[in-house]
Structure 1
Amino acid sequence: MLKRILILLAAALLPTAAIAEGGVVAAADPRASDAGREILRAGGSATDAAMAMMLALTVVEPQSSGIGGGGLLLHHDGKTGLIGTIDGRETAPAAARPDRFMGPDGKPLPFVEAFPGGKSVGVPGNIRLMARAHQRWGKLPWARLFEPAIRLAENGFEASTYTSKASGPVSKLWGDFPEIAALYSDNGTPKAAGTKISNPALATLLRRIAAEGPEAFYSGANADAIIAATANAKRNPAPITAADLAGYQAKERPAVCGHYRGYKICGMGPPSSGATTILQMLGMLERFDMKKLGKDSPVAWHLIAEAMQLAYADREKYLGDRDFVSVPLAGLIDPAYLRQRSKLISPVRSLKKYEAGTPPGAEPRTAAISGEVSGTTHFVAVDGNGDVVSMTSTVEGPFGSQLIANGMVLNNELTDFTFAPEKDGAPVANRVEPGKRPLSSMAPTIVYDPEGRAVLAIGSAGGKRIIMHVMKSLVGVIDWGLPAGEAIALPNIFFGGGAVLVEKGTALEAMAPAIEKLGQTVTPSELVSKLATVQRTPSGWVGAADPHFGGVALVE
């Protein structure tokens, strides 16, 4: 009885959170959370719930994610304590070459010219990821997981504020993309929030995959639709072949784990840069008393900014798809290397110049900036057995490539590659190559306490900023003792244009003058995150969704 009272009291104090003794789900769209809860209540596992959310988001959040894109998944087994990961990142088709995004003048194409149309589309990975995850950790029949998404696509759903807003800038391109214009605009004007949208073509596709399995996505009529959409695009037509689609495989990879103040933090390895970069920053911060400084200290945020810029310098130089390039992964998160990097950080002045280091095992390489657009989505699930799933899913930028095949948005993930294949006469790690997966900032994360219990699952959207959204939340929970729901609401921080970027209208913007006194140029910016989290507490599992978006956490 006392435990139940504590749960009810906590729910009243944290109205954006969902607290339960059993399962919890959280996503950036309430209809996806509804889908996850429905599956948990039907006896599904955390994996089943997460896959139902991924499918539902394909329908209701087409600007951000879906089966026309890819994702990265972490799974914690509540019985064995083992952690597994599945890489469903998109791959470059066989026709892709290192100069894919170079213009006739020998210079990289502007992003706005590169992303619309067929050239930017990678082979989608989410359905293969789903099949592998369901085979490993699913409980309900495969077809049952599709039911919420099929209902949404057939019966219609109201366009969210975020879908309508994301349509605005890209809708100017839709004169060349009639299929997407027909779905999400009225006579060239983006459909307003609240407008009912149905997608019967997508419903038909989902029904076919539900009945026939993943091969219905990667071969036959759907493969033909993807091939036709990319080859016949009015902008940047480019071939994806039947062999490209049939040959795609989602891959199980070892999790990348490290320690911070007694906690074990695990995430995805390359082609994700998320876990590696987060662990680097935390390793550099560990010698500072972040708890004593607290969340309201300009010095604390200055230290985060310094560690951020050093870690991202390493990211740009060394990280890429390990199936194609040598990545000094162990060296990048080696404690001795991070202590060496940490010595560059001063609490009283900024370093000003942030260069990559030389981690153990690193081969000579030049740094080059990769590009990621602020899109994507994240969702989390925990079930009554203690299984936990943290998954990030994406089609890259708003509405991906702007191409539609069978009602689904096709990704523009290949623009995550570095456009210039060489720098200073040396090949770039994240250059385009056939079959390669582009470097990603997606950072699905699971945290274990000093007793080895899974206590937190978290992730975000936001392009390259994803890493920082997750990282500041981890500092909020571990160093500043905040509940996860409050930690994800902390101000966001990033960098660019020679300045540290701080979120407008927050306490961090108020600290800008004090941070600048330490030598940083600080620029208030729009830094919207889209975090979702579940956290183990004495009262049960607590779920929360980012206050920047209209998502919710729901209990089983």
Structure 2
Amino acid sequence: MDVSPETKLNNQSTFSYKSFSSPQLDLRALKSQEEPCKSFHLNPIILHTESIFQFGFLSAATDLNPLKQASGSPDQFDGHLSNLKETDEDCSIWDTPILISAVSIIFAAGVTIALVLQIYLGERSASIKGVLVSDHQRCTALGQRVLQDGGSSVDAAIAGALCLGVVHPHVSGVGGGGVMLVHDIHKNETRVINFQGHAPKTLGKKMLQNAGLQVGVPGMLRGLHHAHSLYGSLSWEDVVSRAADVAREGFNVSHTDAISKVKGDQLSQRFKDTFIPDDRVLSPGSYVQIPGLAGVLEAGLMSFYHGNLSQEIEDEVRANGGILSREDISSYIVELLIFVLDIRIKVPPPPSAGAALISALNLLEGIHLNENNLTESQTHRWIAEAVRAALLMADGLGKPKYNSSVAEQLSDMLSKNPTEVLLQRMNYSHTPPSEYHSTVQSLHTELLAGQVVVMGPDNLMVSVASSLNRPFGSRIITPSGIILNSLLLDFSLSNKTQGQLHTQQVQRPLLLLMPIIMVPAWGTCGIYTALSSSGGQNILHTITQIMSDMLVISFFRNSLPSAESLEESEEFIHAKGHVGQERKTNSGVQGIQRRENIIKVIKARQLFDSLI
């Protein structure tokens, strides 16, 4: 069923249906060049009520009913025309002055009633300065306030990301890293600010049993500061102090299950005092204050990378068997890259696995071009195959500066020709055994990420993802409250050397964080979309599901799928050698779409991780 742009932009319903066929997310308008392009204005921007889309092959299919005609049709009046009769009744009561007065009164009353109804019953719209979405309501409000106070889109993204590091300490924080995409609509320029951590210089082949050896150099603060130096409007101190206030004033705990899952692990006394006081996991709604972390944010960059805080981090890591040094911390450099290719989907380059996403989408496009009338079960099957094949190709992308073959590998992944070869090699009848699967996928089963997406009045699109890697990172907390990452678990491990690390000097491991920006294929007219994923198991699978619907599947399907029984889908999937696991997950995608001056929030949450 085709959905008009007006319907898509104003839809307020909550949908739960089978698979990922979502006309509401259809971006086919990107290809349309028939409508004239209107220039963007700074104000007003209309924020429509957010639409929430749920994905997962265990969800029920939405029933579609044809729209009934709302206005009158000729058929409705045919039976009444015969009742109309000519009359000689005096119509003098409708003299012109009286008629005009009556009509005027009725018209005025109607306008008044319409205005009152619009105020109380109309769609929630507001003249605002931009839109920000994040994983936490308080951080969303904080970032939105930055925009209202005249901050740039990047200012708001920084405040939101730092706030998430406070209220979601199991996901991200200043002890971790991440990546930010910034697209300037007017300049048609996209920058990648990579503040992922890297390995200590002295780390060679080491075993990872010790928590201290899992810690990489934190890049969060330096990366966000670099972004601010390029795009900031408010002062750095102003932006950071807002997140510091959240840590000082306190917040309510929301994800107690994350604490419960690590309770049985070997934890420091400081960790227990913070999250498991008196050997009791914090209950939902518990109020927590971290004044030490507020001090860290306000201390500034010099203290973190060159002063007392860097010494504190080194001491804590070494006390837990690690080798991270102050020199490693002080020498950290943010990677800044500018896209030069005129491509429609913007993803971070290596060491990010963004190329794997593009490759998987290319595979799916080829599949749908070659396969007619695919069922829902077959679609799930092909997405699983495409992700698996893409990850196999991405295994070597974690060392771009030290491996001359990476550029060639990247070119092969993004071209269409290898896609045709892979389509011939992919086994549709049965999934290969697990030993043929990429080691990348097995290493990221616990990856979580904080996500912030912004579109502001400065015509900047920002998508940022930050992470400690697994929940609570290395589970090491410094005296000031900094939770340190477990970044080094991201390095590729072979099955024969599980727990053994292979690195090269200052290498950054393969990064599966997925900030994404999509721009019109031609010129500046069309739909702009910024997305980010919150991680979870099978992060690449989740984002590929949603992106495949937005850019591939919707081209080959004009309506939502008919309802299939769950048993049929599961039997088909298991017959092909996949394992379907029913479990709740935090894996989801948030984003913002903009067309001219209309902005819409997108929340797409996968209720169940489907295939492994």
- Give TM-score, length-normalised by structure 1: 0.78
- Matched with 1:431 is 502
Aligned counterparts of 1:243 and 1:310: Cα–Cα separation in 2: 39
Matches within 5 A, 1:501-516: 511-516=569-574
Pick closer, same or farther for the CA change 1:122–1:457 going to 2, 3 Å.
same
Matches within 5 A, 1:224-263: 224-233=311-320, 237-255=321-339
- Matched with 1:554 is none
1:401-459 residue CA offsets vs partner (Å, 9 max, x unmatched): 11112112111111111345998xxxx9x822341111121121111222244621112
Pick closer, same or farther for the CA change 1:295–1:45 going to 2, 3 Å.
farther
Deviation of residue 323 (structure 1)? 1.6
The residue type paired with residue 232 of structure 1 is A
- Give TM-score, length-normalised by structure 2: 0.71
1:346-405 residue CA offsets vs partner (Å, 9 max, x unmatched): 7x6346369999xxxxxxxx9787622232222211102321111110001111111112
SS at match of 1:376: strand
Aligned counterparts of 1:227 and 1:479: Cα–Cα separation in 2: 48
Which residue, out of 104, 119, 130, partners 2:224? 130
Q: Is the 8 A contact 1:71 1:392 kept in 2?
A: yes
Pick closer, same or farther for the CA change 1:532–1:508 going to 2, 3 Å.
farther
The residue type paired with residue 241 of structure 1 is S
Q: CA RMSD in A?
A: 3.4
Pick closer, same or farther for the CA change 1:476–1:421 going to 2, 3 Å.
closer
Q: Is the 8 A contact 1:258 1:266 kept in 2?
A: no
The residue type paired with residue 133 of structure 1 is A
2:145 is aligned with 1:38: yes
Which residue, out of 173, 176, 198, partners 2:265? 173
SS at match of 2:402: coil
Deviation of residue 63 (structure 1)? 0.2
Pick closer, same or farther for the CA change 1:266–1:507 going to 2, 3 Å.
farther
- Matched with 1:414 is 488
SS at match of 1:523: coil
Pick closer, same or farther for the CA change 1:92–1:8 going to 2, 3 Å.
closer
- Matched with 1:106 is none
Aligned counterparts of 1:10 and 1:77: Cα–Cα separation in 2: 28
Deviation of residue 85 (structure 1)? 0.1
2:541 is aligned with 1:541: no
Aligned counterparts of 2:582 and 2:214: Cα–Cα separation in 1: 28
1:31-89 residue CA offsets vs partner (Å, 9 max, x unmatched): 11112111111111111111001110111000000111000111101220100101111
2:403 is aligned with 1:325: yes
SS at match of 2:572: helix
1:1-51 residue CA offsets vs partner (Å, 9 max, x unmatched): xxxx98994457765569877511111111111121111111111111110
Aligned counterparts of 1:508 and 1:256: Cα–Cα separation in 2: 45
Pick closer, same or farther for the CA change 1:507–1:184 going to 2, 3 Å.
farther
Q: Which has the larger radius of gyration?
A: 2
> Is there any run of 5+ residues in structure 2 with no aligned partner, and where?
1-5, 15-48, 53-123, 608-612
In terms of mean alpha carbon deviation, does 460-469 or 117-126 score higher?
Answer: 460-469
The residue type paired with residue 126 of structure 1 is M
- Matched with 1:448 is 519
Which residue, out of 530, 534, 548, partners 2:588? 530
The residue type paired with residue 146 of structure 1 is V
Q: Is the 8 A contact 2:347 2:514 kept in 1?
A: yes
1:217-265 residue CA offsets vs partner (Å, 9 max, x unmatched): 11211111101111112xxx11221111110011113449786xxxx11
The residue type paired with residue 525 of structure 1 is E
Pick closer, same or farther for the CA change 1:418–1:514 going to 2, 3 Å.
closer
Moved over 4 A (4+): 5-9, 11-22, 254-259, 290-296, 353-357, 366-370, 419-423, 506-510, 546-549
- Matched with 2:34 is none
Deviation of residue 306 (structure 1)? 1.8
Which residue, out of 520, 532, 536, partners 2:577? 520
Matches within 5 A, 1:84-483: 84-101=191-208, 113-114=209-210, 117-160=211-254, 162=255, 164-173=256-265, 176-209=267-300, 214-233=301-320, 237-255=321-339, 264-273=344-353, 275-289=354-368, 297-316=376-395, 318-326=396-404, 327=406, 328-345=409-426, 349-350=429-430, 352=432, 371-372=443-444, 373-405=446-478, 406-419=480-493, 431-453=502-524, 455-462=528-535, 465-481=538-554
SS at match of 2:182: strand
